[in-house]
Structure 1
C-alpha cells in the first residue's frame, strides 16, 4: 500500500498564492504575470500531488488555476519517467467577469514546470538541465511531447489566444517552443520566469568596468571564432543563414522575468544591455553577429566536448520584453523561486529590446 504524503504550507494557494487578485484585469501587466506564474505553480503541484499519491480531496494543485477560472484540459507527461511536466489550461471566465480587458485574455495557456527536487522526477529533470547546457533540449522526448501539444492546439484554435509560460527548465521549454512557432509565423504570447542563460554570471560582478571589459572581450572572441568558422567552411554563407533565422523570429517578443541576483538567469540583463550599447556606438553589425553565438557553447565545442550543438543556442533571443526584479532577496535560492513573481510589492525595471 502506498502512503499518502500530506502537503506542506507552501504548497497551498490559500497560504501563499495571489488570492488578492479577485478581479483580473487582463490589461494589467502585474495581473497577467501573476496568473501565468500561478498556472506554472499549478503544474508543479500536479506532479507533487501525483508523487504524494494524494486523492481528489487531498490535492493541492486545483486552487492554483481554479481561483482564476481556468481548468486543466490536458496534462503533459514525460514518456521517460511518467512525470507531469506541463499542462494545457483553458480559460472559462464566469459571466460577471466579462469586461473590456477580455480582449487581452488567453483562451488557452500551456504551462511547463521547472526542476522538481522529488525522488521520482529529479533524475530526469537534472538530465534535461544538462541538455540545456549542451544545447540539446530540442532532441529530447519531453520537448517533442511539448511542441506536439503546442502545434496541435494552435492548429485548432489559432495562435492569437494561446499563451506559453514556464519557470526555469520549464521556461527553457516554453522558449524553445515559442521560437519554433515563431519560425512558422506564429508569435505566441509568452511569460518566461527565470529562464536559464548558459554563461558565467558576469552580471553578478559588482565592478561595472570589469563587467563591461569581460563582455567586450567576449564579443571580440565570438566575432573572431564566427569569422574563422565561416572561412573554414569555404565561405558557405552559414552565418548568413543563421542571421536570416535569427531575424525571422525577431518579431516574437516574449516576456522574460529575471532576478538580478539569480545566477541562472541574470545574464540576460547584460546580454541585452551590451547589445544595445554596441548598437548605440554604431557597431550594430557586430552586435547582430555576436548576439547569435554563445561563447560557452563555442568553447566547449572547441575543446572537444562531444554533443555540443553550436548551431542555434536556445537561450539567445533577438527580441524580448525584459522585466528585472530588483527586490532584495535573502539568497540565490529565493532569487530563483517562482513565488516572487506574484508579490504585489515588487521593485521592477522593464525594458523592451528589439532586434535591429
Structure 2
C-alpha cells in the first residue's frame, strides 16, 4: 500500500542523525520526574521511528548490511529500546515487522534506573510496501488482498503479527504493549488490534497513513444500498408482513443490530486507535472529510471512537504525503479531531454489530 520513502535516497541519508528528528532530547534522569512519553508529540515521533526500523531492517537485509554498518539500530537506540524479534515472511524471507522492548541496561547508561512513566514495555511495529525486487511481489500481493477484500486475515503476516502481539501481551500485559504501522502495515495493525479488541483485549494502536480505499468497501456499500431499496419496496408493497410477523430474518438482523449498537456505545471507548492522516494522500485521505479539515461528525452517540490527527501544511505531493518521515518531523503541525471519521466508526462498529 504505497512504499515508504526509505527505499529512495542513498543508504547513508537514512542514518538517524541525518534524517531522524532534529530536536529529540535524549532520555535522562529527568525522565524520572517528568517523562517525555507523556507528551503525545514525543509518543508520535517515537512510534513513527520504530516503524522506520522495520523498513530499514528489510533494506539492511537486502543490501547485506550488518553490525556497525546496519542502519536500523540507529533508530531504536536513542529511545533506549532493543530489537527482540524481527517478523519474517515465510513466503520470501523478508522482514515485515519488529518487536522492540524497553532496554533497561541501555537506560542505565543515562542514569535511568527505572522505565519512564508511560513508556511501553514492548512495541510491535509493521512496515508498508517496499518497492524492491526481493520483496515487492509479496508486498503487492497483500496490497491487492486488501484492495479486493478489505481484509488481510488471509495473509501469513496477519497471523504472524497476531501471534507475536499475543505473546508480548502475555509477557507484559496489554496496558504495556503498543502496535504501530505505516500504510499496508497500518492496515495490518488495525485488523490485528480489532481482532484483539473483539476478544476484550485492548492495546494502544498508532496508524500512520492507514489505507482507506478498497473495492470490497465499495461493493459492500452498493449491496447495503440495494438491500435498503429492496426492503423499502417490500415494505411498501406489503410483501414482508408475514415474514415480520413470524420474526423472519429481516427482523432478526434488526434486533441483532440494535443490541450491537448498545454494545458499541458502551464498549467502543475502551479501544481508541490513533490515526495520522495527510489529506493529500489519496490512500488514507478518506478517513478525514473531503475538505481535509478535521471536523466532528453528527454521530456523537457513538462516543470517542478514534483520535484522528490531520497534518496541517504537510507535504502535498503524493509520495511525500504518503511517506513516514513527515510524522517524526519536528515542525509538523497536527490538528486533533476526535470522533470525526465515519469510516473509522464503521470499522469499529463491525466489532459489535454482526453484518
TM-score by length of 1: 0.74
User: Structure 2 residue aligned with 1:152, among 164, 167, 172?
Assistant: 167
Partners of 2:214 and 2:323 lie apart in 1 by 20
Please identify, of 86-95 and 114-123, the stretch whose mean Cα deviation from structure 2 is larger: 86-95
User: Structure 1 residue aligned with 2:14, among 11, 15, 26?
Assistant: 11
Larger radius of gyration: 2
Partners of 1:101 and 1:352 lie apart in 2 by 29
Partners of 2:160 and 2:132 lie apart in 1 by 21
Asked if 1:351 corresponds to 2:354, the answer is: no
Partners of 2:328 and 2:43 lie apart in 1 by 10
CA shift at 1:228, angstroms? 5.0
Partners of 1:123 and 1:219 lie apart in 2 by 30
Kept in 1, the 8 Å contact 2:26–2:78? The answer is no
Q: How many residues are paired up?
A: 300
The residue that corresponds to 2:283 in the other structure is 264
For residues 180-329 of structure 1, what are the structure 2 equivalents within 5 Å?
180-198=195-213, 222=224, 225=227, 228=230, 233-237=249-253, 239-240=257-258, 243=261, 248-270=267-289, 276-279=296-299, 319-329=305-315
Partners of 1:268 and 1:97 lie apart in 2 by 42
Partners of 1:100 and 1:90 lie apart in 2 by 14
User: Which structure 2 segments of 5+ residues have no match?
Assistant: 1-8, 28-35, 233-239, 241-247, 350-355
Kept in 2, the 8 Å contact 1:163–1:188? The answer is yes
Q: Alpha-carbon deviations, 1:219-247, whole Å to 9, x = none?
A: 99956646858989544426457657755
* Aligned CA distance change for structure 1 residues 220 and 79 (closer, same or farther; 3 Å): closer
Asked if 1:176 corresponds to 2:195, the answer is: no
User: Which structure 1 segments of 5+ residues have no match?
Assistant: 1-5, 201-217, 289-316
Partners of 2:86 and 2:154 lie apart in 1 by 21
Q: Alpha-carbon deviations, 1:155-210, whole Å to 9, x = none?
A: 2221011011010001111111111111122211111100000169xxxxxxxxxx
Matched position secondary structure for 1:198:
coil
* Aligned CA distance change for structure 1 residues 60 and 243 (closer, same or farther; 3 Å): same
The residue that corresponds to 1:109 in the other structure is 123
TM-score by length of 2: 0.75
Partners of 2:145 and 2:10 lie apart in 1 by 31
Partners of 1:138 and 1:320 lie apart in 2 by 22
Kept in 2, the 8 Å contact 1:13–1:19? The answer is no
Matched position secondary structure for 2:276:
strand
Partners of 2:49 and 2:203 lie apart in 1 by 19
Q: Alpha-carbon deviations, 1:272-312, whole Å to 9, x = none?
A: 999954337xxx6xxx7xxxxxxxxxxxxxxxxxxxxxxxx
Matched position secondary structure for 2:50:
helix
* Aligned CA distance change for structure 1 residues 100 and 26 (closer, same or farther; 3 Å): farther
* Aligned CA distance change for structure 1 residues 82 and 228 (closer, same or farther; 3 Å): farther
CA RMSD, 1 decimal: 3.4
